[in-house]
Amino acid sequence: MELKTYEKLVSDENRARKYVLGITLKNHQRFCPRCLCRKLYVLAGGRRRCSSCRYTFSEFAGRWINRSNLSCADWLRVVKLFELELSTRKIAKQAGLSYKTAYRAVTILRLAIMSQAQDARELLGLEVEMDESYFGGRRKGKRGRGAAGKVPVFGILERDGRAFVQVVPDVTANTLVGMAVKKVRRGSIVYTDKYSAYDSLMFCGYRHLSVDHSKRFSRGKVYINGMEGFWSWAKERIIKHHGVSPERFPLYLKELEFRYNNREEDIFPLLVSYISMLVPNVG
């Protein structure tokens, strides 16, 4: 979104609210957040009552945006500053919020991004690179696979396309190939390094080509430079957050996946649409 359009939006709460509501109620369809019924009674103050389950709710009920009591204009400010990759401290300062409030808002944003990522059912395919890497840990641990105190992350990257990254409990063949099968279309060409965990890919319906790093030469298209580029891009960004705890790390990882996959998009309206989604029911 252009800065001028954005400035106009946040200068007026009514305008900001209209913008967010427009994205929330695509095609002007309202529904009950509990039972998804569309037959609603209008009550005072913009509230609605469901004709089927009788639930009474306000405009943003059950949605991520409602998990914080920020005004719509403040939400849009946070989204804009988040888009620009500012630290939480700077977001708080720029938006005139307390650190706690800003922290809560960016966490909600990251949760909404993560929830969208998990809903994505589309498979990656054609030509993909796969690799694992280790994040975190202050000192350099043991070299190679299984470095102590570090978080193993598995990554799949379509050549010139989308990325998928996920924290994994270990880097065994079971875990890595198991995840590959869930995320990559059969018949695809898969490039990896010589790590033996990937050997069974050829038995799972893939054309598996591996590159030997020790030789330093890649044969034609057999390389995993894309994935290696992604790792250094991701690590550079994680470092900016100065020590992300292992518990919160998956959230940051999914944020990076989102940023990478939408690198050609205007992510402002996209992020607004994410926070206006219903919070999935977990139990």
Which residues make up the interface to Zn ion (CB under 5 A)?
32, 34-35, 37, 50, 52-53, 55
Smallest gap, in angstroms, from Cβ of residue 56 to Zn ion?
10
Q: Which is nearer to Zn ion, 55 or 103 (CB)?
A: 55
Burial class for 263, CB neighbours closer than 10 Å (0-12, 13-18, 19+)? exposed
Smallest gap, in angstroms, from Cβ of residue 115 to Zn ion?
21
Q: Which is nearer to Zn ion, 35 or 148 (CB)?
A: 35
Long-range contacts made by residues 95-103, C-beta under 8 angstroms, separation at least 24? 97/70, 101/68, 101/70, 102/78
The label of the residue with tokens 């390389």 reads: 223
- Estimate the crossing angle of helix 225-239 against helix 249-261, to 10 degrees: 130
Smallest gap, in angstroms, from Cβ of residue 33 to Zn ion?
8
Burial class for 140, CB neighbours closer than 10 Å (0-12, 13-18, 19+)? exposed
Smallest gap, in angstroms, from Cβ of residue 53 to Zn ion?
3
Cβ neighbours, 10 Å, residue 271: 24
Smallest gap, in angstroms, from Cβ of residue 23 to Zn ion?
22
Smallest gap, in angstroms, from Cβ of residue 40 to Zn ion?
8
Q: Which is nearer to Zn ion, 47 or 235 (CB)?
A: 47
Write the DSSP assignment of 99-159 as a string of letters. Answer: HHHHHHHHHHHHHHHHHHHHH--PPB-SEEEEEEEEE--SS--SSSTT-TT-EEEEEEEET
Q: Which is nearer to Zn ion, 55 or 195 (CB)?
A: 55
The label of the residue with tokens 């989604």 reads: 277
Tokens of 154: 């598995």
